[in-house]
Structures are given as structure tokens and as C-alpha cells.
Structure 1
């Protein structure tokens, strides 16, 4: 697929009218929104979303900030190599290479879902490159809690078959992650990059990469990130939390507050996991204004 041409001809272009950058890794090309100028804001999505998740926040910031919204390898508009080790450590390494290439200087970091572990995995290695952090229904620490509907995706063979052949994970996410139904065009936007079983490889691998026991190779990676989070405690942290998220529920919010007790919290009682979809325009505006303020470390 010729990405730029294909998306230019797609109906979702009206919702996602952003300039794209590319960065070639040995395994494939990373693509990312690159909009605006000024102090940089880096946005990292989770699974099974892509940079489309941030479109309203990008639009609110690009007039005064440079916004980088990455599609992880295997996701969104980035390449989807079929013979690649899709694991947390590699996603962190990919982000590290991209940001070193872009030479942005200190950034504001906005993370959601798997973007939390990926972004904070980078941040604990480069605390001097982090100005502020926004956490959106995410985690970067181990948890014994996994909903049954997510655990089903980890079922050997059957789970991957359902995710890749039936698109079960991405389809279900378009209605199970929100309180207010997504408009048809927004639903189509989330699904657009994941049209074939090959397109959905990273969706399946992200589910398989959820560490539930110490023998899982990603368990020590997450544990190491968690042990280093204290090095970021001086950074201003804003948490915007969907209170009706059945996946990253309030137990995860409590986990963040234990690690960042100074964080400013906005819990949106009637928002689900795709918190930016359920958030009002006024809430998006408030978050954007916070990111437009001059940062002050505590």
C-alpha cells in the first residue's frame, strides 16, 4: 500500500488531515504525524489504535506546538513486517531511535494504553528529555489483573486466529471502549489501517506480549521500568482518566497515584478506555491549554 496516496483518497482524510513523516528502521518504515512548530509534544497510542486516536488533541495543539504522533511498527500507517519480534523492548528501542533522529530536545509526553509502557520505557532512560507527562488510561507497571475478554486473545492459536482472521479485537474495541457510540466515520477511521489479516499482526502480538507471570520475557522489562519511575517524580504529571474503562480501571489509576502522588487528576466519570473519544470538546481544550502552558518542574 502506498500510504500517502491511499490515505489521501480515503474518506477518513477529512478527520485526519495531518502531515506525515517517515523514519526507516531495518525492519520497516515508521510513520508519524509531524505537525506544527514550537515546543514538541510526543503522543504514543496503544492497541488496537493508532495516531488517529489523538486527532482532536493534535488539531488543538498544532497551531502553537510541534506535535509528533507515532504509529508503532505494525500499527496504523507504519509498515507491518510479518517476520518481526513485536515486543515491548523493541517498541521502546524503535521510539528511542526515532526521537534521537528527530533531535526534538525535551518533550511533553502523552501516552495511552501500551503507549504508557513504551513511552515511560523511553522516559526512564532519558529523564532529561522529558518536560511533562500526560497519562491516559494506561500502565507501566505489572498487574495481576487482566479482563477475561483480553485474556481470550492470549489463547494459543484460537486467540490469534480471531484477532487476525476475524479482526475481532479491533472491531470489538470500536464499541467496547467508549460510553458514547462512535460515529460511523470515526469507527471506520480506527479500522482503516487493519484491513487484512497481515495488517493485524501487531494487534495480536501486543495481546500476546501482556506479561502475566515472571517467565514471560516482557515481565522483567516492565518491572525494570516501574523501578525507575521514581526518577520522573519531579516532572509535572497530568492524568486524564476514563472512569468507565473496564480494562485500565481505577486500580491502575491508584497505581499511578502511588507513583506520582503530585499528579493533577481529572477523572471523567462517563468516559471509557478511549477516553479522548468520550471526552468533551471542553475537556480536550483544557488538556491542550495545560500543554500550552510553560512547564514548571516541582
Structure 2
């Protein structure tokens, strides 16, 4: 399952061991060079010095950004799991680097796009979309163009963190699609 930053990461890993995968599940994400001004704008904005500092010093991606894009009330205990992934500024260096890599990784993403198209052309794909996602709004046509046979499931009550908003619906859809 690849969602958010897992869009480029998941297919990259899967393409290196495609014999181990019988299907792919893609959430709100992309896996090709950024095509929209919004994604490039996000990359420039979030990698700017002030926001880079906010990400590192104040864990900006988690608080407040994450809380604002989860559509349900998340408990403090659940939220703490996300905070504890990167509890200090040093732990957040990689997270702070992600936005810059959207643009810097364009050559890698172009190669990845071609490899994924070849490796997974005949692999069953499930594309699960949180329709309230402000980040990847409008990205679904790119997936449909590249993988016209993918099954698309839209979750109207889910936002960017669709796994938090609709975890049970997602699990049921995956089980129904791929068995299990």
C-alpha cells in the first residue's frame, strides 16, 4: 500500500521485487515527475527556509498540518504515535527534506514512472481515494491514464490521511479485492 510519500517509495520497492507482489494498492499519492503547479508550489513552499525550520523545530507536518487534514477526531493517544516517530529536530531532518525532493527527484521519478508502467502493466491495482484530500486533489486522472484497468474506490468521508479517516472501509476493500 502506497499513500502520500509512499506513492514513489512503494512502487520503487515493489518494482525491485515484482515477483513478490500480486497487486498494488495506491492511496492519495503520485509516482511520476510533478505535473501540476500545486505540487511544485507545495515543494517550493515547504522546502523554504522558514517552513523547513518549522518542520524540524515544531514538527509542522504532524502538528498542526496532520491534525487539520484528518477528517475525524483523532485521540491524543493515536496522535502521539505519529509524534513519536520523529520526537526531536534531528529525527525530523529526513521529513524536512521530503518537500525539496519532490522537485529534486524529477529524474528519478521519470525513470520510476517508466519502470512501474512496464513492471505493473498487468498487475491488479486498487486506487483508493479520499475525496476530501486537499493535497492530491486532481491527481486521480494521472493514475487512470497510466493504469486504465485499475479499480478506483472513492471515499467521500476521507481526506489526505485516508487510513485514519476510513481504516475499516480500506481494509475491507483490500480484502474484497485481493482476497484474505
- State whether TM-score is above 0.5: yes
**SS of the counterpart of 2:27?**
strand
Q: Does 1:229 align with 2:130?
A: no
Q: How many pairs does the alignment contain?
A: 177
Deviations 1:29-69 (A, max 9, x none): xxxxxxxxxxxxxxxxxxxxxxxxxxxxxxxxxxxxxxxxx
Distance 1:204 1:147, change over 3 A: same
Which residue in the other structure is 2:126 paired with?
238
- 1:192 equivalenced with 2:84 (yes/no): yes
1 CA distance for matches of 2:51 and 2:167? 34
Q: Which has the higher contact order (CA 8 A, sep 6+)?
A: 2
Q: Which has a greater percent of strand?
A: 1
Correspondences of 1:45-64 after superposition (within 5 Å): none
Report the counterpart of residue 116 of structure 1 in structure 2: 7
Deviations, residues 209-267 of structure 1 (Å, cap 9, x unaligned): 111xxxx3x11000111122221110010111100111112x21111111111111110
In the superposition, relative to structure 1, how do residues 146 and 278 fare at CA in structure 2: closer, same or farther (>3 Å)? same
Unaligned residue ranges in structure 1 (runs of 5+): 1-109, 294-298
Match of 1:26 in 2: none
The answer to whether the Cα contact below 8 Å between 1:133 and 1:237 also exists between their aligned partners in 2 is: yes
1:137–1:240 contact (8 Å) kept in structure 2: yes
Indicate the structure with greater helix content: 2
Indicate the SS of the match to 2:139. helix
Rg (Cα) greater in structure: 1
**The one of 155, 162, 169 aligned to 1:268:** 155
CA spacing shift, 1:282–1:245, aligned 2, 3 Å: closer
Contact 1:174 1:190 (8 Å CA) reproduced = no
Structure 2: stretches of 5+ with no match in the other structure? none
Q: What RMSD in Å do the two structures reach over aligned CA positions?
A: 2.0
Distance 1:191 1:116 in 2: 22
Q: Classify 1:187/1:282 alpha carbon distance in 2 versus 1 (closer, same or farther; 3 Å).
A: same
Question: Quick check: 1:147–1:247 contact (8 Å CA) kept in 2?
Answer: no
TM-score, normalising length from structure 1? 0.55
TM-score (structure 2 length as normaliser): 0.88
Mapped contact 2:25–2:125 kept (Cα < 8 A): yes
Q: Is the 8 A contact 2:29 2:136 kept in 1?
A: yes
Deviation at 1:286, TM superposition (A): 2.9
